[in-house]
Amino acid sequence: MQEELNRLKARLRRVYDLNAISRLLHWDQATYMPPGGAPARGRQLALIRQMAHREFTDPEIGRLLDALQPYAEELPPDHDDAALIRVTRYEYERATKVPEELVTTISAHLATAYQVWTRARPDNDFKLVQPYLERTLELSREVAMCFPGYDHIADPLIDAADRGMTVATLRPLFAQLREHLLPLVNAITAQEAPDDACLHAHYPAAEQLAFGEEVIRRFGYDFTRGRQDQTHHPFMTKFSVDDVRITTRVKEDDLSEALFSTLHEAGHALYEQGVNREYEGTPLARGASGGVHESQSRLWENVVGRSRPFWEFFYPRLQARFPQQLGTVPLETFYRAINKVERSLIRTDADEVTYNLHVMVRFELELELLEGTLEVRDLPEAWRARYEEYVGITPPDDRDGVLQDVHWYGGLIGGAFQSYTLGNIMSAQIFEAATRAHPEISDEIRQGTFSTLHAWLREQLYRHGAKFTPAEVLERATGQPLSVEPYVRYLRRKFGELYRLGSALTADG
């Protein structure tokens, strides 16, 4: 069996490396590539992705998996080899069920749809992109139908990002969360909004970047195995377990922009830098799911990075870097500014309390599109109505409405948005488990130390990579299945204190 296993690993390593190379092509495109490089880069990305897909769907991988199945079945399920064979089979079956022709058609279509969207959005012209979105919907359904046996047509798309999740589990979960969020939003927005003017002085870019890097170095992000660059949209990417890079975006008139995106992407990167080095070159060498990944970006960005103990340590340091801008601004003012809750239009700018309502609008609309109960042409109107209902605000145009996110224009419809809210929910559940195990974590954060938290996360979560399913990894780490309770508790406590809300709202839910 050892020989088959080695042959499988050698093939998987090629696929892994080709995927890593395609990510480098994309990283360079987003960071340093001169504009002239775009046409050739598109060609080169398509070539490498096609090669990676072909290498992974080669029938020889199926044969090796079949040959290894008896071996896997004899092992305890949490043996690394068993997990490797199990996870590879899952991925292999997903990859081989979608015909290569459909994969190629989708790639070409989405490249065009994305280009059209980049023109449609600034022009506020949904009509321009509507036929492309209709085709994307068709193609998304076709992909879903490659996985017969689902209860809801969105399930296979959701499963690709958040394995084990279905519409049947997510709808009630999100409804339950919404029940808690709506009264909280209402109570908060009934008050006068905090003044966040202090975030909008002039903050020179280099000093902003230096501060963000000081913070994430303390988190434990290893700059000998990563780096940060600037891009239009921040992201995390990985070329190997020892080369995990992040990017950020700086606005000199908005201190929160670069800082919180740096913390967010560093959360993703800490996860990837923490994966067991033995898994390098295999499908185990990455986070467990979209949701679990997002739980780590949100944990470091919000649960840690927007907390009071965190700023008790870092605010004097931030003031020292920006004495003119912040020297006379009290900690409390700053803390309230970075936690300002408001009914707003843009998901990526939304605060912790309203954020999930933005996600729910999208999640429900894409389910309705896939079900056929909503037509693409009616989407802008449905978007406005749902925003009014959930967020309590109506977008004045499609630019900041249905055209705001790239997801449906550069990717399939379905399976993209649920991870954000799952991540938020899990972030609190995981942090609660960490502080239950190590009550000193809060005090450490107050001293700018994150080693206990980081070590616990590495041990419980990061090192396992994709070895376990999201449900397994969450239950192993927290001792409990997925639950909105810790998240609701977290929000009520934090924002109850911040906004001095009555006990009816802040009693543990």
Residues that bind a copy of itself (CB under 8 A): 13-14, 17-18, 20-21, 24-25, 28, 32-37, 39-41, 43-44, 47-48, 51, 222-227, 229, 239-243, 245, 280
Cα separation, 465 vs 478, whole angstroms: 16
Q: How far is the CB of 239 from a copy of itself (least distance, A)?
A: 6
Q: How far is the CB of 109 from a copy of itself (least distance, A)?
A: 21
Q: How far is the CB of 105 from a copy of itself (least distance, A)?
A: 19
Q: What single-letter DSSP state applies at residue 300?
A: I
Residue with smaller CB distance to a copy of itself, 19 or 356 = 19
Residue with smaller CB distance to a copy of itself, 188 or 216 = 216
Residue with smaller CB distance to a copy of itself, 225 or 438 = 225
Q: Which uninterrupted H or E stretch holds 236?
A: strand 236-240
3-state secondary structure of 316: helix
Q: How far is the CB of 179 from a copy of itself (least distance, A)?
A: 46
Contact 252/203 with Cβ under 8 angstroms? yes
CA distances from 493 to 59, 186, 206, 500 (A): 54, 16, 35, 10
Residue with smaller CB distance to a copy of itself, 16 or 203 = 16
Q: Which residues fall within 8 angstroms of residue 198, CB to CB, at 6 or more apart?
A: 325, 326, 329, 333, 334, 337
Q: How far is the CB of 325 from a copy of itself (least distance, A)?
A: 25
One of 265, 294, 364, 432 is an active-site residue; which one? 265
Residue with smaller CB distance to a copy of itself, 90 or 239 = 239
Cα separation, 338 vs 51, whole angstroms: 45
Q: How far is the CB of 208 from a copy of itself (least distance, A)?
A: 19
Residue with smaller CB distance to a copy of itself, 16 or 431 = 16
Residue with smaller CB distance to a copy of itself, 227 or 377 = 227
| Spatial CA neighbour of 256 closest among 339, 189, 194, 321 | 339
> Helix 126-145 vs helix 355-371: angle between axes, to the nearest 10 degrees?
70
The β-bridge partners of 254 are 251
Q: Residue 169 has which token pair? A: 């589990």
Mark whether 73 is an active-site residue. no
Contact 205/252 with Cβ under 8 angstroms? yes
Q: Which residues fall within 8 angstroms of residue 226, CB to CB, at 6 or more apart?
A: 243, 244, 245, 246, 269, 273
Contact 370/414 with Cβ under 8 angstroms? yes
CA distances from 345 to 284, 335, 399 (A): 38, 22, 10
Q: How far is the CB of 508 from a copy of itself (least distance, A)?
A: 43
Catalytic residues: 265
